[in-house]
Amino acid sequence: MADHPERQSPIDAHGIIGDMRSAALVNDKGSVDFFCWPEFDSPSIFCSLLDTPEAGIFQLSPDLPDARREQIYLPDTNVLLTRWLSDRAVVEVTDLLPIGDTEDDMPMLIRRIRVVSGRATFHLRCAVRHDYARANTLAHMDKNDVIFEASGQPSLRLAADQTMTIDHNAAVARFTLQQDQTAQFLLGTPDDLRFKEGAAELSVQRTLKFWRDWIGQSNYRGRWREMVNRSALAMKLLTSRKHGAILAAATFGLPESPGGARNWDYRFTWIRDASFTVYAFMRLGFVEEANAYMRWLRGRVSDCQGKAMKLNILYAIDGRQELPEIELTHLSGHGGAKPVRIGNQAYEQIQLDIFGELMDAIYLVNKYGEAISHEGWKHTVEVVDQVCETWEQKDVGIWEMRGEQYHFLHSRLMCWVALDRAIRLASKRSLPAPFARWDQTRQAIYADIWTNFWNEERGHFVQHIGGTGLDGSMLLMPLVRFVSARDPRWLATLEAIEKTLVRDGMIYRYRNDDSQIDGLPGTEGAFAACSFWYVECLARAGQLEKAHLEFEQLLRYANPLGLYAEEFDSHGRHMGNTPQALTHLALISAACFLDRRLGGEKSVWQP
């Protein structure tokens, strides 16, 4: 396809809508330019965010070229409102994927127009392009509706209360509405009962009630309630209603640097995010979500017969283990960044840190949620015993390096966490465990970190043995309680991180010019989750005024809807896949801790 990146909207000019089975991105021009259907990780039907409108788009906008555009969510929901304000008219488009009656209901996209004042002419173009725009999608009229079909792909129906025609296998329409007039468009499976008259309105009202009832359970009452609740709503939207797992992000292929090759598929679930997910849900009072996520995790540790299985670093949301990478060479990429990849070959990698994140999650759930079962503890013992055998090995580290393997500090740190949380859990629950062996290994890892990862000449901890570079993942050292947040050696490391990896509160994971170890060309932006970890480190170190200021600055880097992608460029604009769950999880953690230290929220929560 032709390369016209100027037609694409910036990553941060999008809102997300979803039904906990799939999700779509809507830009501030009123176009759905990314939508995988019917599952989060299904092939796309709209993919113009990664190419041109020929890759699939649902355009719906008024002819108001000089209008001011803005997007907001209806309060306490994931229902999106895009607005146009001009001298001639004020117009709004409401977008949502309604919550179905059951977890198996197919997603339906509902789009509604309302003219608030004045008079406006609207243009519609719905170009469904199946299978990442690789299939030959044909459109035909079925009475007043348009049917989209492609060989081997599920058919879709577009119904409207406006007259539509077909142009180049796309549904098109042009119509004018006066003040207080409305129009509605529904896209779903041909036999969806919500096409019946009046059913869509009931679905909308039920969806609004669902989101408001859900976020109403949040126990956060701190000073950043709006941002924390938005982060929670984004996390819930990225959670599988059927399986309980949470996506790393809703998208694939969005670049970590302009025009670069670091374009990955994040529509999967990483074990690494387990403890962050459990902490955030439980911290806000969403115990059932945390328990559901842990039930999904247990299914990765043992099979249906109760036999232990090899733990991978990531899985499809339904538990599939093999996620081979494929390059979509026909797509030009966002801003020309190629290749566009689906699948993620990192599923084959060895990352020893995942055991620590898994055990931290198990520990937290046992402390605040469901107690571990007998079978679950047996598998946990096997996992921890495996850590005892493998902790001294090299791996690719938390950032999934595609170069050589090293002895990474973060991997050692999380191996220590695995032993530490297992010992704590066994002690608190009087569970049988090889305490002597585990404690001996825990002490050995502790000594190894202080001996082999502290660089006396540099005066700080280093990313890997034999190196001199720093790493944003070091910010987790005090957060997982390995080191005191005010330990002189940690404060020296924090100061070194500030000098090397911090740029206006934005934290880079590492610097390529310091350590050419990731095996990838080019550079990347600042990592948003690390930036929030930095705020929490400052607060724990007692630097409250600085932490408060840095946090407020980071909040301004959100898009107008309060959403974050994976990274920031040098201007604070968003890069990478979006919205990024880990970023929002880190925001929640930082907001809760900083608010308590500033004398706000009172809580008995002790992670």
- In this structure, how many other beta carbons lie within 10 angstroms of the beta carbon of residue 600? 15
Give the pLDDT score at 512.
55
Give the pLDDT score at 484.
98
Phi, psi of 65, rounded to the nearest 5 degrees: -60, -25
Q: Both 135 and 277 in a single domain?
A: no
Residue 515: pLDDT band with limits 50, 70, 90: very low
Q: Both 328 and 474 in a single domain?
A: yes
Written as six digits, the tokens of 121 are 């002419």
Give the pLDDT score at 306.
58
Q: Both 159 and 275 in a single domain?
A: no
Has residue 209 been placed in a domain?
no
Domain span at residue 128 reads 5-190
Alpha carbons 103 and 106: distance in angstroms, whole number: 8
Token look-up 């495996």 returns 386
Written as six digits, the tokens of 94 are 């409401």
Q: Both 534 and 405 in a single domain?
A: yes
- Among residues 456, 355, 362, 363, the alpha carbon closest in space to that of 410 is found at 355
Alpha carbons 243 and 300: distance in angstroms, whole number: 12
Alpha carbons 419 and 406: distance in angstroms, whole number: 21
Q: Both 474 and 590 in a single domain?
A: yes
Written as six digits, the tokens of 349 are 């990698």
Give the pLDDT score at 362.
93
Alpha carbons 534 and 551: distance in angstroms, whole number: 9
**Is the confidence at residue 336, as pLDDT, over 80?**
yes
- Alpha-carbon distance values, 487 to 465, 472, 481, 484, 494 (Å): 21, 18, 11, 5, 10
Q: Both 118 and 260 in a single domain?
A: no
Give residue-wise pLDDT tens across range 168-196.
Answer: 999 999 999 999 999 999 999 999 999 99
Give the pLDDT score at 513.
53
Mean pLDDT of 526-543: 97
Give the pLDDT score at 4.
37
pTM of the model: 0.94
Alpha carbons 152 and 506: distance in angstroms, whole number: 46
Has residue 203 been placed in a domain?
no
Has residue 413 been placed in a domain?
yes
What 3-state class would DSSP assign to 217? Answer: coil
Q: Which residue has the higher pLDDT, 599 or 225?
A: 225
Q: Both 181 and 250 in a single domain?
A: no
Alpha carbons 597 and 607: distance in angstroms, whole number: 15
Percentage, residues of the chain above pLDDT 90 = 85
Alpha carbons 345 and 332: distance in angstroms, whole number: 21
Give residue-wise pLDDT tens across range 553-588.
Answer: 999 999 999 999 999 999 999 999 999 999 999 999
What spatial distance separates the first Cα and last Cα of the chain, rounded to whole Å?
Answer: 51
- In this structure, how many other beta carbons lie within 10 angstroms of the beta carbon of residue 54? 16
Percentage, residues of the chain above pLDDT 70 = 95
Residue 519: pLDDT band with limits 50, 70, 90: low
| Segments in 126-251 forming alpha helices (H) | 130-133, 199-215, 225-237
Alpha carbons 329 and 506: distance in angstroms, whole number: 33
- Alpha-carbon distance values, 40 to 37, 51, 68, 269, 287 (Å): 7, 19, 32, 11, 24
Q: Both 40 and 132 in a single domain?
A: yes
CATH number at residue 45: 2.70.98.50
**Is the confidence at residue 518, as pLDDT, over 70?**
no
- In this structure, how many other beta carbons lie within 10 angstroms of the beta carbon of residue 503? 14
The DSSP bridge pattern shows strands 80-85 and 145-149 to be unpaired
- Among residues 493, 408, 512, 390, the alpha carbon closest in space to that of 452 is found at 408
Q: Both 239 and 165 in a single domain?
A: no
Q: Both 286 and 415 in a single domain?
A: yes
DSSP state of 511: -
Maximum CA extent, the chain: 77
CB 379 within 8 A of CB 308: yes
Give the pLDDT score at 54.
96
- CB-based contacts of 573: which residues, under 8 Å, 6+ apart? 10, 11, 12
Give the pLDDT score at 121.
98
Alpha carbons 2 and 483: distance in angstroms, whole number: 53
- Alpha-carbon distance values, 571 to 10, 94, 253, 421 (Å): 13, 30, 21, 40
CATH number at residue 430: 1.50.10.10
**Is the confidence at residue 117, as pLDDT, over 60?**
yes
**Is the confidence at residue 507, as pLDDT, over 50?**
yes
Q: Which has the minimum average pLDDT: 92-96, 178-182, 514-518?
A: 514-518
Alpha carbons 128 and 137: distance in angstroms, whole number: 7
CB 560 within 8 A of CB 71: yes
Residue 524: pLDDT band with limits 50, 70, 90: confident
Give the pLDDT score at 601.
52
Give the pLDDT score at 6.
39
Q: Both 24 and 166 in a single domain?
A: yes
Give the pLDDT score at 5.
36
Alpha carbons 494 and 498: distance in angstroms, whole number: 6
Q: Both 375 and 420 in a single domain?
A: yes
Mean pLDDT of 33-57: 98
pLDDT, the chain, mean: 93
Q: How many domains does the chain have?
A: 2
Phi, psi of 123, rounded to the nearest 5 degrees: -120, 135
DSSP state of 371: P
Handedness of CA 193, 198, 202, 204 (dihedral sign): positive
Has residue 132 been placed in a domain?
yes
